[in-house]
Chains A and B, each alone.
Chain A
């Protein structure tokens, strides 16, 4: 067991360092701005006095290192400073949106993960049949299509032609849960479709690779039925790669969310990020980027830890 804790501890440490470096990149990238933030906010016509006043207000007259440290300290308690466009606090602006995005992402993940593993196993059982070929071509096509293409196709059919689900997911606070699920069905479906194809392909590839190993041959020769060979013999060894693919795809889901939210006008953090980029609202951009990057890193971390934990060789050392 000591080995496992050592491995996990080292991995967590690496994740923490990565997070720190990324916060450095996100913060000091803005310092690269030609001129500085005050100049960018006020534009070319600003007078020296105005610039100096704004710099003082934003704390820009202090050295960058100090500002970085206080920013980092703020992020720990979810305080990202004030927006330079509206003047309001950033955390108030993105707090509710973050919840919405997390809801959408988990809605998609809860359906996509079990479904894709199930489908991957089924396709692995049907390998080298016509269905396998069709599934291969279809999933490859899916993976290659841009997210917004899928989104607009779904809108065209489900909301314009058949009028089953709304094309714009407007959320109000008093909605009951079922209505919420219905309103957000289309964006969730797009996310499911994006992630499911890749996860399915990887599950299939892992299991097919394992099926070539001698111990599976043995299980087959002793007369175990095909499903039992896969579920009892192949799957336990396949968990590690499958978990890392799942986590990686959930991380993709995080970036996929940005485009999907814009298409469906979903009030989430991705849309806030895109709006802030267009308006050059740096504190909001920094906050959103940090949240996205942190989620991405945490999911990757979870993947590695999961892979370590499910590896039978590591759990039962000789």
Chain B
């Protein structure tokens, strides 16, 4: 071991002793983490782990800085009413918003951004990246970068459609159950209990095996499995609102059920419902990505993030990270939505840690 490494350990151990003496939890744990990192580094040989740790923290710092800037930008450009909301954004939620805006932009303008078409064969299979093909080529010689961009359009819009279907069915049923009560409520509740105990992936696989891998089948399967979640949340939230006096007053005025839903109940439970939509989107997006990964989602030649991972998986054994790029796109979008949902839930519930 070199003197540099030895002095590094000596420094860490001394500082953790000082920290223990001073009873500073933060410093103790930081030192412990650093020592563990160095030990793991020796264990795996070479300084790869250390390098990744540095790259990771630099990336984290950069994204924090960008999120900070984005929040300041949002606060500056938006009108007063919105600026107040945006000021309460956490850094992670701001990061999530950036991701969502970027993905939406890519979805809409995919054909104009992508240099090639998604099914266009431009070079030989698995060609390495160069100045023309930024991320190299896939297993048939199609441009990875273009497929990634079209993939945003195909995968995200399928997940969106499926989530919207599930959410629409779930919330409508939930609102009706809350307003009508009685046997409708009971029956819907029992059906929900049963449907919610079917694992989503398994049900989707069953449907796909029967009706074949089509997008409509995926949408129907997801709608059936995830509608009960939306139903439960809506039923719980709307149940509280329905008990309010102003709803009673509207009822006594003789308003129709449709009016009650639209004007009295829905505006008062929109925040938790929006958060639930985000959360459900994450689940559905991961489910659809999993199905595509299994080769049962969006069918070729359409680009799709999940199936791109599977098709290029062999590259992993050569130490290439190409198949990880679409997978990380899935992860980043889900993380982004989750961060925003986290913030919205925090705001709407006034939860305090």
A in complex with B? yes
Using a CB–CB distance below 8 Å, which chain A residues touch chain B? 14, 17-18, 21-22, 25-26, 29-30, 32-33, 126-131, 137, 140-141, 143-149, 152-153, 155-156, 160-162, 167, 208, 251, 254-255, 258-259, 262-263, 273-274, 276-278, 280, 282, 285-286, 288-289, 292-293, 296-297, 300
Which residues in B have their C-beta under 8 angstroms from that of A161? 48, 319
A25 adjacent to B198 (CB under 8 Å): yes
Contact A259 B294 (CB under 8 A): yes
Using Cβ atoms and an 8 Å threshold, which residues of chain B touch A273?
202, 205
B331 touches A21 (CB 8 A): no
Overall SS of chain B's interface: helix
Besides A126-B29, A160-B319, A208-B353, 19 other CB < 8 A contacts?
A29-B210, A130-B26, A131-B26, A141-B331, A145-B330, A149-B331, A152-B309, A152-B316, A152-B324, A162-B44, A254-B199, A258-B202, A259-B293, A274-B294, A276-B209, A278-B295, A278-B296, A285-B206, A296-B199
Closest partner residue, chain A, to B286 (CB atom): A146
Q: Are B290 and A145 in contact (CB under 8 A)?
A: no
Instruction: Return B165 CB to nearest CB of chain A, in Å.
Output: 19
Total cross-chain contacts (CB, 8 A):
148
Given the contacts A144-B334, A146-B290, A137 and B92 also touching, CB distance less than 8 Å: yes
Q: Is B339 an interface residue (CB 8 A)?
A: yes
Q: Does B194 contact A (CB under 8 A)?
A: yes
Q: Give chain B nearest CB distance to A31 CB in angstroms.
A: 9
A167–B331 CA distance with the chains assembled, in angstroms: 22
- Complex Cα distance, B313 from A296, in Å, reads 30
Compute how far the CA of A276 lies from the CA of B330 in the bound complex, rounded to whole angstroms.
27
- Is the pair A127, B353 in contact by a Cβ cutoff of 8 Å? yes
Whether A146 touches B330, Cβ cut-off 8 Å, given contacts A152-B309, A156-B321, is: yes
Chain B positions within 8 Å of A149 at CB level: 309, 324, 327-328, 330-331
Contact B324 A153 (CB under 8 A): yes
Q: Is the CB of B205 within 8 A of A167?
A: no
A126, A130, A149, A254 — most chain B CB neighbours (10 Å)? A149
Give chain B residues whose Cβ lies under 8 Å from the Cβ of A167: 316-317
Return chain A residues, CB-CB under 8 Å to B334.
144-146
Q: Which B residues from 161 to 197 make CB contacts under 8 A with A? A: 193-194, 197
Contacts of A32 in B (CB 8 A): 210
Chain A residues, Cβ within 8 Å of B295: 278
Contact A21 B202 (CB under 8 A): no
- Which residues does chain A contribute within 8 Å of B206, judged by CB atoms? 26, 29, 285-286, 289
| Residues of B participating in the A interface, judged by any CB pair closer than 8 Å | 25-26, 29-30, 44-45, 48, 92, 193-194, 197-203, 205-211, 282, 286, 289-290, 293-296, 306, 309-310, 313, 316-319, 321, 323-324, 327-328, 330-331, 334-335, 337-339, 342, 353
Q: List 5 A-B contacts (CB under 8 A).
A: A33-B211, A140-B335, A147-B290, A282-B210, A293-B197
Contacts of A278 in B (CB 8 A): 295-296
Determine the chain A residues whose CB is within 8 A of the CB of B339 once the complex forms.
Answer: 140
Collect the chain A residues with CB atoms within 8 Å of residue B306's CB.
146
A303 CB to nearest chain B CB (Å): 11
Q: Which residues of A contact B324 (CB under 8 A)?
A: 149, 152-153, 156
| Chain A nearest CB, measured from B209 CB (Å) | 4
When distances are taken between beta carbons in the complex, the residues of chain A under 8 Å from B26 are 129-131
**Chain B residue with Cβ nearest A159:** B317
In the bound assembly, the distance between CA atoms of A288 and B205 in angstroms comes to 10
Are the CB atoms of A296 and B338 closer together than 8 Å? no
Contact between B331 and A146, CB atoms less than 8 A apart? yes
Q: Are B197 and A297 in contact (CB under 8 A)?
A: yes
Residues of A within 8 A of B202 (CB): 255, 258, 273, 288-289, 292-293, 296
Kindly name the residue among A22, A141, A148 whose own CB sees the greatest number of chain B CB atoms within 10 A.
Answer: A148
Q: Is B25's CB under 8 angstroms from A129's CB?
A: yes
How many angstroms from the CA of A308 to the CA of B202 in the assembled complex?
28
Give the distance to chain A from B62, nearest Cβ to Cβ, in Å.
Answer: 15
Query: Are the CB atoms of A152 and B208 closer together than 8 Å?
Result: no
Residues of B within 8 A of A251 (CB): 199
The distance from the CB of A175 to the nearest CB of chain B, in whole angstroms, is 23
**Nearest residue, chain B, Cβ from A167:** B317
A281 to chain B minimum Cβ distance, whole angstroms, is 8
A14 cross-chain contacts in B, Cβ below 8 A: 193
Q: How far is the CA of A255 from the CA of B206 in the complex (A)?
A: 13
A184 smallest CB distance to B (angstroms) = 19
Closest 5 CB pairs of A and B: A144-B334, A149-B327, A145-B331, A277-B209, A144-B335
Interchain CB contact under 8 A, A156 and B319: yes
B303: shortest Cβ distance to chain A, in Å? 17
CB distance from B191 to the nearest CB of A (A): 9
Q: How far is the CA of A285 from the CA of B296 in the complex (A)?
A: 14
Q: How far is the CB of A215 from chain B (nearest CB, A)?
A: 19
Nearest chain A CB to B190 CB, angstrom units: 9
B47 CB to closest chain A CB (Å) equals 13
Distance to closest chain A CB from B174 (angstroms):
21
Point out the residues of chain A lying under 8 angstroms from B342, CB to CB: 140
Min CB distance B279 to A, Å, is: 11
Per a CB cutoff under 8 Å, which of A33, A160, A297 touches B210? A33
| A137 partner residues in chain B, CB cutoff 8 A | 92
Task: Find the B residue at minimum CB distance from A291.
Answer: B202
Of the residues B199, B296, B323, contact of A292 by C-beta under 8 Å:
B199
B335 touches A255 (CB 8 A): no
B327 in contact with A146 (CB, 8 Å) = yes
Closest to A295 in B: B199
Please give me the residue from chain A that is nearest to B205 by CB atom: A277
- Cβ 8 A contact of A289, one of B205, B211, B286, B313: B205
B194: contacting residue among A18, A33, A262, A285, CB under 8 A: A18
B209 touches A296 (CB 8 A): no
Q: How far is the CB of A234 from chain B (nearest CB, A)?
A: 15
A282 to B210, CA, bound (A): 8
Beta-carbon contact of A148 and B338 below 8 Å:
no
Which B-chain residue is minimally distant from A40 (CB atoms)?
A: B210
Nearest residue (CB) in B for A274 is B294
